[in-house]
Amino acid sequence: MYRKVLVAIGGSPWSDAALSYAISLVAATGADLTILTVLASPVAYTMPDVMASSELLMESIERQGHELIAQASAKADAAAVPYSAVARWGSVPETILQTAQEGQCDLIILGSRVITGWKRLVIGRTLNAVTARCEQPLLVIKHPPAVDLGQPTWRRLLVATGGSPWSDMAVDHALKLAQENGLEVCILCVDASRAAGAPLDDNSGAKDILANAEARAAAAGVTYEARLAYGNVTEAVLETASNRQCDAIVMGSRGMTGLKRLMIGSISNAVAAKSLLPVMIVKRFLAA
């Protein structure tokens, strides 16, 4: 399903985990891998003595970047996967997006810490910016894969649906992954209109949404189970993924940008921030 995969690295433990996951994924699927590290430009100065210091800083950044690329290349060589590796100057989110577009990549993989609240908006700004603007599916990784190299990375996916066009895209993406890789799918619909334990509301539409996704899974010939949950969507997704022993979570996103995204929020981003499992965000891109 994926022909070209881009993974961005930066020397952190979570980007190392993303690299390991990317190598495992392409080893199992036969995709080509692009390894990218972004050399973030220091602030330009005009004073001669500060300019000299800035040049030394840029040399140091470039040297560290090429060391990261050499280390990553050694891991890819050891795994015998097809890859290219590049270090590029620029803004981190912009360079990731541009490299993915130029390389016609159909999946972006990024590493992330488990962070929530206001820290997620500040510390996770690179992930947030790429998530908001990328047109490819984005896979967010917290830990290295738990399988041996060459073994299937996933066995069961959880996909959340709410009946929106972007969650429909997530369902379709998960079903296609399941078809091509022999995976099981857990389809979850969360009725956020009532809390768990409250009286059932047959007019909520959640049962119909779930039934529609089930019909599509059956038509695709995919092994699946359907779950209906109630209350907070983010917590229900995380709890179900854990209880049903899923290996990854697939979520849809509108792809909002700017203030609109900050004001309305994003369930997919909240799940990606809190989940220890890999989270794939499938986009229906809408500019702000």
**Residues in Cβ contact with 78 at an 8 Å cutoff, skipping those fewer than 6 apart:** none
Residues 174 and 242 in one domain: yes
Tell me the pLDDT of the chain (288 aa) as tens digits: 899 999 999 989 999 999 999 999 999 889 999 999 999 865 544 445 544 457 788 888 899 999 999 999 999 999 999 999 999 999 999 999 999 999 999 999 999 876 555 444 444 578 888 988 898 999 999 999 988 887 888 999 999 999 999 899 999 999 999 999 999 999 999 998 866 555 555 556 899 999 999 999 999 999 999 999 999 999 999 999 999 999 999 999 876 555 454 433 478 888 988 899 999 999 864 443
Residues 36 and 95 in one domain: yes
Residues 218 and 276 in one domain: yes
CATH number, domain with residue 243: 3.40.50.620
Residues 130 and 176 in one domain: no
Residues 118 and 162 in one domain: no
Q: In whole angstroms, what is the distance from residue 217 CA to residue 187 CA?
A: 9
Residues 80 and 181 in one domain: no
In the chain the first and final C-alpha atoms are separated, in Å, by 30
140 neighbors 277 (Cβ within 8 angstroms)? no
Domain assignment of residue 94, yes or no? yes
Structural domain count of the chain: 2
38 neighbors 95 (Cβ within 8 angstroms)? yes
- Provide the domain limits for residue 63: 4-141
Hunting for tokens 């768990």 — which residue is that?
196
Domain assignment of residue 147, yes or no? no
